[in-house]
Structure 1
Amino acid sequence: MQEIGSVTLENEMDLILAHKRTMKLAEIAGLSLPAQTTFATAVSEVSRNTVDGNTSTRLILGVQVVQRVTYLVALLRHNTSNIDKASQGLAYAKKLVTKYYISTKGNEVSIELFFLIPQQQVDLLKIDEWRTILRNEPPVSPYEEIKRKNEQLHELSDKLRKSEEQYKMLTNSLPLMIFTMDDQGNLLFANEWLAIYTGSSIAEINESKWTSIIHPDDYTSFSLLLKSELIKGASSLQAQLRLRSQGTEEYKWHQVSINGAVSAHQEQEYRIGFIVDIHSQKVYEQTLKDNIELKQIQQELKENQQTLENSNIELNRSNLELQQFAYIASHDLQEPVRKILFYSNYLLNNTPEIDSKRAQFLSNIHSSSERMKNLIQDLLSISLINKAAANYQQVDLNVILSEVLQDLEMVISRKNAVINAVDLPVIYGDAIMMRQLFSNLISNSLKFTRELSPPEILISTENGPGEVEIIFKDNGIGFDEKYLPQIFALFKRLHSRETYEGTGLGLAICRKIVELHNGRIRASGNEGTGATFYVSLPSMAW
């Protein structure tokens, strides 16, 4: 096979470069665009599965004539540890090429892909022409240019050993920082580009052990390159690090490559290294990465927003259906409960000859029906609390309190309750809801009273930033504050029905009313000394 070009495969960027060069060779060989793509795809499939970051794979592109039949050839040489991965790509690639061969020699595996060049007579002159075209093809990316310079430097390394003067002349002519050093990392030689960029001489760099020009965060990775056992075990070691520029004192990204130079007796004599400025490439890669991450985040936010909107729509629909169900159920249940109450009451009051057991049963039915009636009325009340149906306007809480006290006049009189209130503010809200809020909180204080202690209720206010707090304080039985988390929950009771009547919905209704007014409600208390409820409402329209 006549070699025309080659690529060392170490990373994903090299795969792109291999595909490009394969396409170019197929193009100058006169293949059609579909044939170019087919051959390049076959090479890429095998190459991709041989790159694992630990070993290098060598791709050699060339031409071979077999019995007057001309083939383009792609030869891949890699470590046997990658044979399983390579076979995955080969399974697909062999369908695209004319023929292929696999051979093993020691720890090296060679895969040859052949692609027929129809009606093409190729001689050595044409092969040299193709080789020149492929070598002189302009790079399309900074990485390809760096790769090409890297390959050129590897080719020059053997020649540079022959003459130190020629070595200096060549290294100074290249826009790269080139150096040699001993096993301890001390510089033996450096071209003038290193001193021009860093402003440090060889002696100064050796004295600081490179710390004066390498970013502190990158020094550890650089020091690993200096370990002799690593150099002996690899043909080339590379690292990306930041070097200080003498002009701006700014640290910029560079790629450092170090190779061990050996004598004819295979003894390591010194190390050859070169440093390439890749700052622009790193900035481009980081910008591209940031843009990709930003687009991903934007897409996730968009999807989350859509999910949230769908959830809100579904939640609103469910809430509406639940409110409609509660209203209909509560409304329709009132009639049968009313009849049960009527007939059980009639039997209790109009049946003279009834034994005590039947009388007890009727009394239980009547009590249960009464509780059912109260529960239905509370469910109906909570189902009717709806922000969409509310009539928000200026509401004088003094008028609300007066109406509630008039409604509760009989209970207040029966219990000899004393209710004191300061002048209450005017708020922006729904009058009906405010009336129910005051009624529930005052009724609550009138219900949970201590024996032989007339109820005392004090209603006061406190002004805060942008809000007013209405305080309902009583001298009733109070409660243990460990029950605070459940006091405003639906159907939660702190006392048995036999002791105190109620459905457990009163305070839940209060909380819903306050939340619909963009407010807050909380409570405090102690057993045997009373309870206090705090209702915070906005002091202006919202």
Structure 2
Amino acid sequence: MKTQEIIRVTLQNEMDLILAHKRSMRLGELAGLSLSAQTTFATAVSEVARNTIDHGKNGCLVLSVTTGQKEKYIIARINDDEPQLQKYEGLEYAKRLVSKYNISTSGNETSIELYYYIPLSDKLDARRIDSWRLQFREEPALSPYEEIKRKNEQLQDLAQKLKESEQQYKTLTNALPLIIFTLSEAGNLVYANEWLRRFTGAGIAELNETRWRGVVHPEDYDSFALLINHNPPLGAATIKTQCRLRHRSEDEYYWHLASISPLRDEEGRLQYWIGYLVDINAQKMMETTLRNNEELKETQQQLREHQDALETNISNLNRSNRELQEFAYVASHDLQEPTRKISFYSDYLLNKYEGQLDPKGRDYLGHMQRAARRMRTLINDLLAFAQVEREGITFKPVNLNELVQQVVQGLELPIAEKHAAVEVADLPTIDADPGRMHQLFQNLLSNSLKYAREDLPPQVRVYAEVDGDQCTICVADNGIGFDEKYLPQMFALFQRLHSGKKYEGTGLGLAICQKIVAVHHGSIRAQSQVGEGATFILTLPLHQ
């Protein structure tokens, strides 16, 4: 009966027992056994392997498969250097679980073979068995312990077989699950194990002729070619690079770590280069996945930020639309026309019938005229507020020095009446809408004149400070000031801090200022104390 070995597991401790059980289950799965049959076979193996670990010496499990006969079995052979059969308590139970068993001794070694019948074994040929071996070798370790054990066993095998003949060296390199090769000083392949042909489908002669083109990914070829086309530095110990190699059957590229090291004689002369190619595709996929996860998190964060900004913009737009609708309704011609008529007829009555009215009637008409004027002022302010965004914004360079001087000239009469002094420092040129900027500074300077102290002539200063692409413009006065707790309502519509009997106004001036600054992508705030004046601070970009 011929057998083909698939994999070995040394039996030294409980961790090895777990490996023995899982490897037995895996072999049963590859052989096409049902889950219950896999479990039965693995349980039988575990029972005998446990006895070996508990009482034996130098135990080893060899999983194999029979070939060359009609009936085929998977075999678990447990070797033990302590031939004391009476200690194998688990053997009696294992006998009942398998198809057949065999016990043999040779010197101090005892071997127990457990056979399990493979029902569907028609396609069980050498190629299939080779693929099983390959799967066992390429499967990732089940635990850190197995990974360390696997590497330790490979290193032990390598250290032992490197001492043997060239034929033993070739056998070793063909058994390891990595591509091993040697290069001449000219960069030609001298030797390569079978894994190179199995993976790439190309032999030594073909690779030397093509210089690995068609096997190495085009994007990685230049870095890989440095290993084979040029003499590395004489002092180099190990040279490494990463590249993708094409798999012959899948026509896909897999990442490998390529490494070469010089082999020198006793006098230090280079004999040839020893190299290997290790499959690191799983590691690369993990790195890519982690990187993609980080990018996905960043994208999600950006989307959340954009969503928040979008919701804020929508909220501002809805508020603006509501305000515009209200203003359009209040400031319609239906409101302006009656106001004009009230003003016209009250003026007509005073001019034509003043002599026929008693003092009380003339006083009533005066109140009517003043109320009509206030109504017209309110309508005009409403229209001005609504038209800040309604009309198109035209940004162009505006010299604020010239613009503020024009505003001061326009306020010449109230400045003279109040004996005010307006000082304008050096102001920058910014991208702005000239008309709206004029209205902004006119409202701020008018407020400084309006809310002046009775015992002190108004002193108004306009100055600026530039920081990068932003400028801060201040309009400061020595007027009556205000309590900063009222700041939130100062820039709201129709909000006034002072009685209309003493200080005329509609409560829209600062609201208009705030809206003008907003359409220029800036901000406005104020600082003040009661009786010590106020400073309005504008922050505006130099360029739009």
Find the structure with the greater CA-based Rg: 2
Report the TM-score, using the length of structure 2 for normalisation.
0.46
TM-score, normalised to structure 1, is: 0.47
